[in-house]
Structure 1
Amino acid sequence: MSNKTTGNPLVSYPVIVLAASGDVDAINAVLKYYEGYIAALSTRQLLDESGNPHLCVDEALRRRLETKLITKILTFNVA
């Protein structure tokens, strides 16, 4: 089964179970899957010294979103 909007395969159930149990590689796999979405959510329009708009990823916001995802992964009940 794949994600209909991106064509990417979904995160498999065994990976989710491993991530919820704290497996670092599995958590990284989930983070990798959501990497683009997190980057899109973290994108902000900033103005340069001339007032021209530029899109940039807010790294602090990106890290906060990743931390929130990791926290939710570790508290996820797979039972």
Structure 2
Amino acid sequence: MSQINQGRTVPIHYPVIVAASQGDVEAIQLVLSHFTGYIITLSTRLLFDEFGNPHVCVDEDLRRRLEAKLVSKLLLFDAM
């Protein structure tokens, strides 16, 4: 989970990014957990039930697609 310091998110350390771009599973998990809140915010949708009542829900398909896109771009990233 990302650490918060006085309302600001602590950035991911460079060695973690390098390790993630080289395919280290633990580093990729750290990057994904760092961006979890942002990904959930992007994948939040307003849905309406059969009575017209609005419900805010996370579109799980979109969330998984965003996570997969992040991992694929992370693996293509040239950190050196």
Q: Give the TM-score, by structure 2 length.
A: 0.90
Amino acid at match of 2:39: I
Q: 1:19-34, aligned counterparts within 5 Å?
A: 19-34=20-35
**What 5-or-longer segments of structure 1 have no aligned partner?**
none
Matches of 1:65 and 1:16, distance apart in 2: 18
Alpha-carbon distance in structure 1 between the residues aligned to 2:36 and 2:56: 17
Identity rate, percent: 55
1:45 aligns with 2:46: yes
CA RMSD of aligned residues (A): 1.9
Deviation at 1:3, TM superposition (A): 7.9
* Matched residue count: 78
Gaps of 5+ in 2: none
TM-score, L = length of structure 1:
0.91
Q: Which has the higher strand share?
A: 2
